[in-house]
Amino acid sequence: MKLFGRIASLAGFTLLVSFFAVPIGLTLLFGGHAEWMPILIGGFIGFIVIVGMSIFNVKRRAVFYGVPIAIVLIGCVVAVPALYKLTKPVVATSDVDLYDYAPNKPGTKAVELGRPASFRIEQDVPIIDGATALYPVYAAFAQAVYPKQDYDPYNSAVMSNRTGSAYENLLAGDVDIIFALGPSEAQRARASELGKELVLTPIGKEAFVFFVNKENPVNGLTQEELRDIYSGKVTNWKEVGGNRSKIRAFQRPADSGSQTALEEFMGDVPIMKAPTEEVADLMSGIITYVADYRNYDGAIGYTFRYYSESMIGNNNIRLLAVDGAEPTVETIRSGAYPITRELYAITARSDNPNVDAFIDWILSDEGQELVEKTGYVGINSAAD
């Protein structure tokens, strides 16, 4: 009877501990954190062994402490390969250096016509600003048309202060033209409050892209699956043909160009609230986070094709096909890639006498040639 009582006590204690351990285990297993399971199991068994030895009056200390400790250590060793991704340093990806694209700089990456432009501005040059991703193309416009001099990318007549700041500068009257995607609802409302009319002139096309770490086995998703992910309806990659791993859907701050593009893509589908640590300030930051080895099986982000492939060039991410179409110049041109966005020259009633003529030139064959040479698709470009 005494032995039976001890066995019953151990069984009861085991059931009590299981009451707490099983839900934790299921949460880890189905929540995309299965790498912790060997440690949980080892700890659970080790703890039960310690209690069992106490109940059965095991006196030898080497056994009393050694066996459960060994069990826990075995669990840790088994977990090491999976936990390695939680401790390996982030793959570094710095923001793009805009000085590489500055107009007239020796060795600049800003493309050239290869001949004198038919239109020139010698004085009253429009002050231009815009999105980081579009700086290479409007730097090329300025290089072809503006006086030959240095233009600092952050403080000159040809600068880039990122989308949100560029809109603020335009509405404040500090710049004449900005080059960006269309405004967010908040930016439109701000313009209306100030009595400003935003005039958007399409100058090119680009693909809005979603991307994962290159180790993620998912190569493509449908538009519906992408909306389900960013609405929070789908939370695990196994639901869309991937591994059993929790999805970490990174976002950008409100009023950034890519966040506005996501809002347009989602339409009436509400976007889930992203945890603070999953909101990337810089567009290069969202690429860095997804490229991070620790996120290889869980992260997804979004950006623009040219920026990710040509300006950042991080080989640790892979752009996803959408509805079976890869994001390429050819699929943007043909319309096969389903998520394209127009690139705009945007004004707000500038008094500069050269603004309209400059935009007309950008829409000319010469301006559109620079759009294509840079790596975007011309606004009037169509499939052959």
Residue-wise pLDDT for 117-127, tens only, equals: 999 999 999 99
Give 84's pLDDT tier (boundaries 50, 70, 90).
Answer: very low
d(CA 71, CA 82): 18
- From 11-20, 25-34, 182-191, 224-233, the region with the lowest mean pLDDT: 25-34
Burial of 305 (0-12, 13-18, 19+ CB in 10 A): buried
Q: What is the rounded distance in angstroms from the CA atom of residue 229 to the CA atom of residue 201?
A: 32
DSSP three-state, residue 305: helix
Question: Hey, how many other C-beta atoms are within 10 angstroms of the C-beta on 169?
Answer: 18
Confidence of residue 349 (pLDDT cuts 50, 70, 90): confident
CA distances for 361 relative to 126, 132, 203, 206, angstroms: 13, 22, 10, 20
Long-range contacts at 223-231 (CB < 8 A, ≥ 24 apart): 223/265, 223/322, 223/323, 223/338, 223/339, 226/265, 226/322, 227/265, 227/266, 227/267, 227/269, 229/300, 230/262, 230/266, 230/269, 230/271, 230/272, 231/266, 231/269, 231/270, 231/271, 231/272
What does the pLDDT look like over 166-182, one tens digit per residue?
999 999 999 999 999 99
Backbone angles phi, psi at 270, to 5 degrees: -65, 140
Residues 6+ apart with CB under 8 A from 149: 104
Residue 34: what pLDDT?
Answer: 55
CA atoms within 13 A on the CB side of 128: 30
Where is pLDDT greater, at 96 or 66?
Answer: 96
Let me know how many helices (H) and strands (E) the chain has, helices first.
13, 10
pLDDT band at residue 76 using 50, 70 and 90 as cut-offs: low
At 287, is the pLDDT very low, low, confident or very high (cuts 50, 70, 90)?
very low
Q: Would you say 346 and 198 are in contact if contact means Cβ atoms under 8 Å apart?
A: yes
Spatial CA neighbour of 178 closest among 195, 163, 194, 196? 163
> Could you read off the pLDDT of 202-220 as tens digits, one per residue?
999 999 999 888 888 999 9
Token couple for 60 = 């030898």
State the number of CA atoms in the 13 A half-sphere of 364 facing the CB: 13
Residues 6+ away with beta carbon under 8 Å from 57: none
Cα separation, 175 vs 190, in Å, equals 16
Using only C-alpha atoms, what is the Rg of the chain? 28
What value does the mean pLDDT take over residues 289-307?
67
- Of residues 43 and 289, more confidently modeled: 43
Please write down the long-range contacts of 29-34, taking CB distance under 8 Å and 24 or more positions apart: 30/236, 30/244, 31/236, 31/246, 32/236, 32/237, 32/244, 32/245, 32/246, 32/247, 32/297, 32/298, 33/246, 34/82, 34/244
Q: Is 348 helix (H, G, I), strand (E, B) or coil?
A: coil
DSSP result, 217-285? S--EE-HHHHHHHHHTS--BGGGGTS-S-B-EE-B--TTSHHHHHHHHHHTTSPPPPPPGGGB-SSHHH
**Rounded to whole angstroms, how far apart are CA atoms 363 and 353?**
18
- Predicted pLDDT at 94: 41
Strands 377-378 and 199-213 turn out to be: antiparallel
Q: Is the pTM of this model over 0.75?
A: no
